[in-house]
Chain A
Amino acid sequence: MNHAVIVGYARSPFHFAGKGALARIRADDLAAAVVKELLTRTKIEVNDLEDLLLGCAFPEGEQGINVARLIAFIAGLPLTSGAATVNRFCGSSMQAIHNAAGAIALGAGEVFICAGVESMSRVPMMGFNPMPNPALAQQMPGSYMSMGITAENVAKKYAISRLAQEEFAVASHHKSATAQQLGKFTNELVVLGDVAVDGCIRADSSLQALAGLKPAFDQNGVVTAGTSSPLTDGAAACLVVAESYAKKHQLPILARIKSIAISGCSPELMGIGPVEATRKALKRAGLTMADIDIIELNEAFAAQAIACIRDLDLDINKVNLDGGALALGHPLGATGARITGKAAALLVREGKQFALATQCIGGGQGIATILEAVA
């Protein structure tokens, strides 16, 4: 079987939607800039490119009309390559990587750009025209449930206190702030004009400040804006190629895709999705959690991240070394490419063997990727 390997990872700075530095940039321009820079950095022969697979959670408006193809045009990709927009909500760009791995395994192409983008400033969550099926909405309220409420449900079911969530969020901000200070994001960031650094990290985040926030989704609840990932603008991209291709062209391999998995769960508890997805992926890789050295677990909400850590019995010291989405932000379509690319980069940086990237998905799913260092 042809293995897929990740040979490049780049992302834009992430900024708050609405008030942030990227609010006035269209999603297609944003993603194209990252794609272009990724190609420059990896010095790939662009005519070998098979496909641009781009994750986007709300592919409409400026993110519509198969935006992947339009991004390919803006980025100047060869017209002979293809482009598809992939939608699995928050799992969209990790799914793009899975699609590429599958195609490579089938021998259906050697070089893929797996990217993701979301301008939550310019295309609102739920889209411009939310039009739920009235019968389904009635029979199965979870199908259209607000993400915040699912976080409340998880907090309740797993008895995760507000304080525990706030401690987790503060830790995420402090890890990100430290990483930022030490320049640990420099290699992955694509400078866009005068926007060179991330905009959501709060170095001064404190338990005291978070304790003062009102519940954001349920007046009697425990989830606040401070323990939820912010609405974010951003783009990320990975270069995924066949291992044989990488070796032939002497590309520096960050990691090999060892196994992948998707798993469904109750939509009311969507935040717990990573648990089963991870177990499936581990099993497929023939590994146990003890074998995993690096973990990128998306922090949609502190509550669901903590629930996953507890259920999977993760070693907290291996989780999100440079902080997670609570601090960095969560541009829905871009997050999968970010955490998978980040996990691969961390394997190299930390000199480790196995990494896990996993995330929860609105509607009740989990997605997981296990990566392996290539000697």
Chain B
Amino acid sequence: MSISKACVIGAGVMGSAIAAHIANAGIPVLLLDIVPPGEGDRSRIAKGAVERLLKTEPAPLMTRAAAKLIEPGNIEDDLHKLKDVGWIVEAVAERLDIKQGLYRKLEAARKRGCIVSSNTSTLPLHMLMEGMPTTLQQDFCITHFFNPPRYMRLLELVAGPLTRPEISTVITNFSDQKLGKVVVLAKDTPGFIANRIGVFWVQAAVKAAHDLGLTVEETDAVMGRPMGAPKSGIFGLIDIIGLDLLPHVDASLRQALPADDMYRTLPADFPLLPKMLADGYIGRKGKGGFYRLNTSDGNKIKESISLKTGEYAVSTPSRLDSVAAAKSGLRILVTHKDRGGKLAWAVLSKTLAYAATLVPQIADSIVDVDLAMKAGFNWKYGPFELIDKLGAAWFAERLAAEKLAVPPLLAVAAGAGGFYKLSGQGLAQLDTNGTHQTLARQSGTLLLSDIKTTSKPLAKNSSASVWDVGDGVACLEFHSKMNTLDPDSLTMLMQALEITKRSMQALVIYNEGENFSAGANIGLALFAANIGMWPTLEQFLEQGQSVMRALKYASFPVVGAPSGLALGGGCEVLLHCSAVQAHAETYMGLVETGVGIVPAWGGCKEMLIRHLPGPRDAKGPMPGIMAAFEQISMAKVSKSAAEAKDMKFLRVTDGITMNRDRLLADAKARVLALVAAGYKPPVPVELRLPGPTARAALGLAIENFSRQGLALPHDVTVSNQLATVLSGGMTDVMDVLEENRIFDLEKQAFMTLLHTVPTLDRMETMLATGKPTRN
């Protein structure tokens, strides 16, 4: 049984975004809603939803073309189209009567065995299926997506007592491989896993902030990064979710949870809530919540609400010692004497203990709970990993010392040396019987972090390492801050090439950082330029160029496997690989002009080559040059791997992996396939460029942009240097240029620009603020 076409019913925010993500996977999807009363197009709700998808930020769709895979319709006229649909996702209003009415309608329309799932977050499966035909119950499950579905990796899957086992398998495989989801099997209990613990965490923190007198900034500073949660923390998160949803979420949990559940000890709301809702402060989707942007005097000023007075004032960053001290460990944070430390203990002691009471009630294993919190709330560590950070025994003792209940599972962990343990086979998790069982990864999943726990690198320096990932494949891992590239990274890349040549078959370039690489380390470049170390700079540049050359023409295949940002030098590394296997969420671009320079490790050269006209493009020397110029001068970055293909940062033949955890395995398979096919390095490209003629054409364009106010003064300087590189310098269209000539031009332009003050200003601002300056 496979799913070659899907259907989502309910074209609200969640339903339409789920349909968008199914389309991202290349699967055609019907999107149906009701026929609204009144005249007009009977499918206008779903059609409007598709139009909205194209305008929503962050984009639910990976490319505009994916929208064409969504076929809008309505549930009165289009149910006959369900006959070739393998999976129907119901995402209509959270009302039992509406959902059950729809299910009855679907019984007649769906083909035999077609899976029906509900995206409900509040209604249990046993209620949804009450009185439903057995045939439906056998094909039914809950698939709970998190918002926004493209970006939030968690999918909670709940199967009922009659659900056919293969349904879980099909949904798990499809969601894992096609949708890139972390699929966690949850029990049919209120809030499933992530919301059960996440809402507890939020409510506990709101209460503690009031009890201990912390500001919203302080609360978020403590509950964000120090515990490995997103920096939005608690109040920032409520603003994102919407304050208006809070009472509903609370009420649905409260009425469904058992009488002795710890959640019931927390207050349902907080003093300010009614007034904030009455004043329309419902969060980011409205005019603000705990935080707001005050634009009344023309400036955007971030303000926050006082939990005591309810008045807004200019937001002031938290300056808690405990937050600074938390860098030395979670235990330092929760034992710190200031109010930040007290808040951390108050919230984590409750939340982590609560989690420990819930296995096996809500999930079969602790790792499922950790996975759910990591993928559903973007925590860096799950609750059981956090307990291990504190020390399970220490945590149990502290709870006991404070006369708080020690959950039995925690007591077991305290005695067994923690929830997780490293064994010879890798990581093992504590089961409910108190023994550690080795974690089995899904087949097709390969994590460098697993390999790293059980082996030593083949080579290593401060910025990068080389690992043996099996089957004769080496893996180069960047691990500097933001994975920026410095001379050490380049040295290790060169060494990886040498090691592979000597003793391996092939190389992949991959890491498990948030970003593949943010580009060359401009801090180093700025420092060298400021003290006039021009030879050092030139050396760094030339080192990069010769490494890229060696990479491109290596006798064995090299596959780059990016996820997240691959900018500037990081993008250039990928441009020189034999092939790329990219995670779907890969954002590629040559952004050098933003810091006042031009790509000089072959980025200009490779984009000239990539933009050579294909059979369907306009012929002649200019279109490719103009396309490369537009992309690089405007520092365009792809918003997905699929879009990177449209922009030619990726080749049409490059692969895209939807599931982050499968990226290394897919990259390895790709590089081994290249080996098996008898890999030969590429033949050098000979370029014919029009030189000064192209330079004049681009010069005219730059002048027009400048007059239109679309280019700042230094943009003009940088663009003119870029124009010289992309034109081929002092060449003629009758001459043939070798790739090295473009390397030379890149170097010239790069060094010239580094001698200008505005370029150094751009670098300085970027390093200080993370944003480009306008000069």
Contact = CB atoms under 8 A, between A and B. Distances in A.
A132 B697 contact: yes
Contacts of B620: 128-129
A134 B700 contact: no
Interface in A203-220: 215-219
A130 B618 contact: no
A146 interface: yes
Contact of A129 (B623, B695, B699, B704): B623
B707 A137 contact: no
Contacts of B709: 215, 218-219
Contact of A137 (B621, B622, B690, B700): B700
Nearest to B622: A129
Contacts of B697: 130-132
Interface size bracket, B side = 10 to 19
A205 to B, nearest CB: 23
Contact of A132 (B621, B623, B693, B704): B693
A134 B692 contact: yes
Nearest to A131: B693
B695 A131 contact: no
Interface in B611-625: 618-623
Given A132-B696, A134-B692, A137-B700, A219 B708 contact: yes
Interface string B107-139: 000000000000000000000000000000000
A164 B539 CA distance: 60
Contact of A216 (B618, B693, B700, B708): B708
Contact of B694 (A131, A138, A149, A218): A131
A222 B537 CA distance: 46
Contacts of A146: 700, 704
Nearest to A123: B618
Nearest to A214: B709
A133 B621 contact: no
A128 B619 contact: yes
A134 B733 CA distance: 13
Binding site secondary structure of chain B: helix
Interface in A165-220: 215-219
A236 B618 CA distance: 26
A134 B727 CA distance: 12
Interface string B690-734: 101111110110001001110000000000000000000000000
A315 to B, nearest CB: 35
Interface string A35-66: 00000000000000000000000000100000
Given A61-B618, A128-B620, A129-B620, A134 B704 contact: no
A216 B707 CA distance: 9
Contacts of B700: 130, 132, 137, 144, 146
A134 B695 contact: yes
A218 B693 contact: no
B707 A217 contact: yes
B699 to A, nearest CB: 7
A146 B620 CA distance: 22
Contacts of B621: 129, 131
Nearest to A148: B704
A131 B622 contact: yes
A216 B619 CA distance: 29
Nearest to A221: B707
A149 B696 contact: no
Contacts of B696: 132-134, 137-138, 144
A149 B705 CA distance: 12
Contacts of A130: 622, 697, 700
Contacts of A133: 693, 696
Interface string A219-232: 10100000000000
Interface centre among A133, A134, A144, A146 (most CB of B within 10 A): A134
Interface of A: 61, 128-134, 137-138, 144, 146, 149, 215-219, 221
29 contacts: A128-B618, A128-B619, A128-B622, A129-B623, A130-B697, A131-B621, A131-B622, A132-B693, A132-B696, A132-B697, A132-B700, A133-B696, A134-B692, A134-B693, A134-B696, A137-B696, A137-B699, A138-B696, A144-B696, A144-B700, A146-B700, A146-B704, A149-B707, A216-B708, A217-B704, A217-B708, A218-B707, A219-B708, A219-B709
